[in-house]
Structure formats: structure tokens, C-alpha cells
């Protein structure tokens, strides 16, 4: 993957169109700003129960966005990452509909997970309580088959997202078909979505168990054989994330977003500094995503191991986000929203900072200087704010941060001073040779950090003082020496 700022976006929500419109943006106002694009699920359909993360046909581009020729055309301009949703398919997929209609007589009967298939001898109370859950409740839904019989189907996320048996003949063939289509479509990297839940085993948490690691390793080998790099998306305890990073090409740095907020809110640089010393170097760094702002990644482990932030500091972080957003994030998070995610606050990053341009640009500078390859969500790239109208209409918490832009809104956003300065930061990050070198971190005081990159005579450094809320970038090398203020 190119070591430049990456864009992650819904195609239609950024462009109000399809892949051809996204290519026009990439070749136009975003030229030099981004080095790659991760179009969020663009498969048929893009407007299912979970904004494309429940594909009925994972190998078909939603016709409203274009086709695979349009995807290949975009790949001529920038590298493309695509989601490979390994855990589930849509309840509206032809294969699951056939299974519901015919039951065990369906050719796809082996593809789906029932309660009985995972627990053939039944399950104890402890078996059920051991299952790791991203949301409250058990991961099963009662469904009625064509003959009137009822069975419990494994549904990790929603009743419209049906978990597959990745070891079954049809499940394995399904995943292989997706990889082959991606290769043909010009995709050079894949993100394994919900991968931590893909393997179920009685008596375990069924989340990132040894069998999961083995499965992901085999799947990654298949992808690499086709020339595709593999990113694994997992929210977990920070030390577990470090271990996972040793086994895959890339992981997300989900600890960075809350730790940056903590430093900006409190003036305390210590927890962020401790993380940057040990964070995976093969990370994709983020501040905002299509989901919320994760907090589980800096909290304590379920077995009691301490987190990067103490419980009181974590509570204060969440409350400050709610306060800075004027209470809007509270309306989109937890019991207030229909998606009761246990590990995130739903809010744009810009709103979480109270729309303070200086702090927002400091946050982005920290992201761009942190070890890894930075990825920016389309809302964040345009300095977007909470979409309360969409939230109230859909009553889905994550929609607060999933605005549908019109072309006029994109044009207006591109003219915002904070966006112009963010683009300048991105161009600097993309072009300075020092970022291909070695990372170093200094903490001159309790409220100050210096992040630097060096390659031969090339050097770039970011000096942030969280007490005075100032940041300066200095650079030396063949392109000339200089420095400039962030914000």
C-alpha cells in the first residue's frame, strides 16, 4: 500500500453519484491529497440493513454506482481497497432465501450457521455467556422455514446479516469467488470486515480464538497469492491488537482516536506517548470511521488487565465528547440509538472537538505523524458536522456521521479554511521523503510531544504542546528547510 494519505468513503454519499464521479474528484480537487481510496461496500445493494455491509451479492457492483469497469478505471488513478465481508451475507441473498425455502434440502444448507450446528450437544448457560458480543443480547434469531419449522440462526450483528460457515464447501467457495472478482476489478488491498467473529467454537468466546487466527492466515495467503494486501479490522484490548498485528499485513490503530482526544481535552500527553512507543508500525491510522469513535481499544481487558486510560479518564473522555458536541453525540450513542454498540461514541470527530479548527488540525497532524499509513474518512476530509436530520429520520446512531453530500455541499466544503489547511497537511505528508524513514518520539514535558521522521538527510518533526494548544512542523532535506504552524 502506498505510504500516503488514504480516503475511506461511501461512493454515493460523497459524490451523489457513482464511481465515475468519485474518479472525477480524485483526479480533480483531491489530486495530491490522497494516494488511495477505500470505497466502503459498493456491492449490491448499498442500501440494505447496514449501509452495504449486508450484501446480497458480494461479487456485483450496485448498478447505481456503475460496474467493475468503473472500478478498474478508478484503479488507474489511485490504489483501491475493498471490503471483504467474511462473517455474513444478507438475509435477502439468493443462497439464504433458498435455504429458508428448502431447509436441509437446499444446496446451500451447509453454508449457514444454526444454533444446533455450533452446539450439537446443546449449550450450557456458561457456553452462552462466554460468547463475545459487539452488541447486547445473544447472537441468534428465530427464523421460520418453508415447511413451517423454526430454527435459531446465528446472526452476530442484526437479523438481516446471516453468519456463514466459513469452513463449509459453499462458504469457502463463496469467499474464493469474492477474491477472484476483486483481482479482476483492480483491487490491490482488502479489508477483512468483522473477521474476528468468523469462527465459532463451543466453550469459547468465538472471537479471535486460535482457530480464527488460523483461518485469517489462510485467507490472507490466498489474497496475497492474487497480489492483494490484507487489512484486518478488529476492535480489541490494546495488547491483543499488538499481537494480532504480528500475524497480518496491517491492522487499524483504533487506540489513536480516543488518546488524541484525551490529550486535547486534558492537556496530558502521557497516555498518548506511551501508546506511540509500542503501537504497531504496520497500522492504518484513523481518527474517524464509518462507525463511531471507539473507546474499547483504550479500556481495560475483560480479564482485568488495565487499559491505556483508567476507567475515570475514559468516562471523562466520553462525557467531554458529549459536551463538546452540544449533546448531539449522546442522542446517537448507546440506548439512544437502534444500534446498541458497546464500544463506540457516534459523532463526527470535528464535532467531538467542538468544531475547534485549531484542535482539529492538531489532531490530524498527530495522525499523519503517527507510525503507520493515515486514512481519513470522507466526513473528516471535508470538516463535516453531525447530520442530526439523517439521525432523526433513520434512528440509526451511526448515521449521524454518514451524511449524503450534494455536489454543491462538496464545493462549499472545499472552500472552508480548515479543509484547505488539512489538504496542505496531507500534501506535505504525501510528499516529504522523511516519512519513508525511521520514527522517533520525545516527551519534553507532561503536556508536550515531539514526533519525528528521519531518512538520511531528510527530516520532518511535529512539536505539539497540549497546554498552550500549539503545534509546529519543521522540515529539512533536499526540498529545502523550513517550519510552519499547524492551525
Q: Is 290 annotated as a binding residue?
A: yes
Cell of 44: 449490491
Query: Helix, strand or coil for residue 212?
Result: helix
Q: Is 403 annotated as a binding residue?
A: no
Residue tagged 497480518 (cell numbers): 248
Q: Is 88 annotated as a binding residue?
A: yes
Cα(297)–Cα(257) distance, integer angstroms:
10
Q: Is 126 annotated as a binding residue?
A: no
**Sheet order of strands, 458-465 included:** 438-445, 448-455, 458-465, 470-476, 482-485
Question: Among candidates 312, 310, 349, 314, which has minimal Cα distance to 329?
Answer: 349
Quick check: 140 and 154 in contact, CB under 8 A?
A: yes
Q: Is 323 annotated as a binding residue?
A: no
Residue 233 designated active-site: yes
Bridge partners for 242 per DSSP? none
Cα(172)–Cα(343) distance, integer angstroms:
30
Given 83, 193, 229, 458, which residue is catalytic?
A: 193
Cα(225)–Cα(108) distance, integer angstroms:
27
Whether the CA torsion 152, 158, 161, 165 is positive or negative: it is negative
DSSP state of 112: B
Given 54, 62, 163, 233, which residue is catalytic?
A: 233
Q: Is 342 annotated as a binding residue?
A: yes
Q: Cβ contacts of residue 20 below 8 Å, gap of 6+?
A: 66, 70, 73
Whether the CA torsion 20, 23, 25, 28 is positive or negative: it is negative
Q: Is 387 annotated as a binding residue?
A: no
User: Which H/E stretch holds residue 426?
Assistant: helix 417-431
Cα(4)–Cα(426) distance, integer angstroms:
8
Q: Is 349 annotated as a binding residue?
A: no
Cα(433)–Cα(482) distance, integer angstroms:
15
Cα(258)–Cα(318) distance, integer angstroms:
9
Cα(400)–Cα(347) distance, integer angstroms:
6
Bridge partners for 161 per DSSP? 90
Q: Is 50 annotated as a binding residue?
A: yes
Quick check: 207 and 157 in contact, CB under 8 A?
A: no
Q: Cβ contacts of residue 200 below 8 Å, gap of 6+?
A: 113, 118, 154, 163, 206
Whether the CA torsion 322, 325, 327, 329 is positive or negative: it is negative
User: Which H/E stretch holds residue 452?
Assistant: strand 448-455
Cα(191)–Cα(207) distance, integer angstroms:
17
Q: Is 193 annotated as a binding residue?
A: yes
Pick out the residues of the known binding site for sucrose. Answer: 88
Catalytic residues: 193, 233
Pick out the residues of the known binding site. Answer: 50, 88, 191-193, 233, 290-291, 341-344, 398
Pick out the residues of the known binding site for substrate. Answer: 50, 191-193, 233, 290-291, 341-344, 398
Amino acid at each position: 500500500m502506498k505510504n500516503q494519505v488514504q480516503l475511506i468513503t461511501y461512493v454515493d454519499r460523497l459524490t451523489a453519484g457513482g464511481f465515475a464521479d468519485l474518479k472525477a474528484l480524485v483526479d480533480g480537487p483531491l489530486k495530491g491529497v490522497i494516494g488511495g481510496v477505500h470505497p466502503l461496500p459498493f456491492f449490491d445493494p448499498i442500501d440494505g440493513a447496514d449501509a452495504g455491509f449486508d450484501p446480497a451479492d458480494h461479487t456485483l457492483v450496485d448498478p447505481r454506482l456503475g460496474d467493475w469497469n468503473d472500478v478498474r478505471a478508478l484503479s488507474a488513478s489511485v490504489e483501491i481497497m475493498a471490503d471483504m465481508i467474511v462473517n455474513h451475507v444478507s438475509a435477502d441473498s439468493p443462497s439464504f432465501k433458498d435455504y429458508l425455502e428448502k431447509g436441509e434440502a437446499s444446496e446451500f444448507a451447509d453454508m449457514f450457521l444454526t444454533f444446533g450446528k455450533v452446539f450439537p450437544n446443546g449449550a450450557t448457560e456458561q457456553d452462552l455467556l462466554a460468547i463475545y458480543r459487539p452488541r447486547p443480547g445473544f447472537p441468534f434469531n428465530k427464523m421460520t422455514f418453508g415447511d413451517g419449522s423454526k430454527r435459531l440462526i446465528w446472526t452476530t450483528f442484526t437479523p438481516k446479516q446471516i453468519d456463514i460457515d466459513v469452513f463449509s464447501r459453499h462458504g469457502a467457495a463463496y469467499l474464493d469467488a469474492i477474491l477472484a472478482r476483486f483481482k479482476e476489478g483492480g483491487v490491490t488491498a482488502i479489508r477483512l470486515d468483522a473477521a474476528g467473529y468468523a469462527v465459532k467454537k463451543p466453550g469459547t468466546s468465538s472471537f479471535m480464538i486460535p482457530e480464527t487466527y488460523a483461518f485469517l492466515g489462510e485467507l490472507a495467503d490466498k489474497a496475497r497469492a492474487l497480489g492483494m494486501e490484507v487489512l484486518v479490522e478488529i476492535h480489541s484490548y490494546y495488547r491483543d491488537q499488538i499481537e494480532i498485528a504480528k500475524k497480518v499485513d496491517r491492522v487499524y490503530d483504533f487506540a489513536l482516536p480516543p488518546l488524541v482526544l484525551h490529550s486535547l481535552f486534558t492537556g496530558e500527553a502521557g497516555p498518548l506517548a506511551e501508546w506511540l512507543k509500542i503501537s504497531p508500525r504496520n497500522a492504518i491510522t484513523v481518527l474517524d470511521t464509518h462507525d463511531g469513535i471507539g473507546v474499547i481499544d483504550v479500556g481495560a481487558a475483560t480479564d482485568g488487565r488495565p487499559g491505556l486510560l483508567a476507567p475515570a479518564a475514559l468516562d471523562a473522555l466520553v462525557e467531554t465528547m458529549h459536551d463538546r458536541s452540544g449533546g448531539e453525540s449522546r442522542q446517537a450513542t448507546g440506548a439512544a440509538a437502534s444500534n446498541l454498540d458497546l464500544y463506540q461514541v457516534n459523532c463526527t470527530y470535528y464535532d467531538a472537538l467542538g468544531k475547534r479548527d485549531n484542535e482539529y488540525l492538531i489532531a490530524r497532524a498527530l495522525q499523519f505523524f503517527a507510525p503507520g499509513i493515515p486514512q481519513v474518512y470522507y466526513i473528516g476530509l471535508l470538516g463535516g458536522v453531525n447530520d442530526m436530520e439523517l439521525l432523526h429520520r433513520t434512528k440509526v446512531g451511526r448515521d449521524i456521521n454518514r451524511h449524503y453530500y450534494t455536489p454543491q455541499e462538496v464545493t462549499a466544503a472545499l472552500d472552508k479554511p480548515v479543509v484547505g489547511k488539512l489538504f496542505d497537511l496531507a500534501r506535505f505528508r504525501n510528499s516529504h521523503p522523511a516519512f519513508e524513514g525511521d520514527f522517533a518520539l520525545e516527551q519534553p514535558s507532561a503536556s508536550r510531544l515531539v514526533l519525528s521522521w528521519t531518512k538520511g538527510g531528510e527530516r520532518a518533526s511535529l512539536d505539539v504542546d497540549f497546554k498552550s494548544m500549539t503545534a509546529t512542523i519543521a522540515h529539512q532535506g533536499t526540498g529545502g528547510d523550513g517550519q510552519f504552524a499547524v492551525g
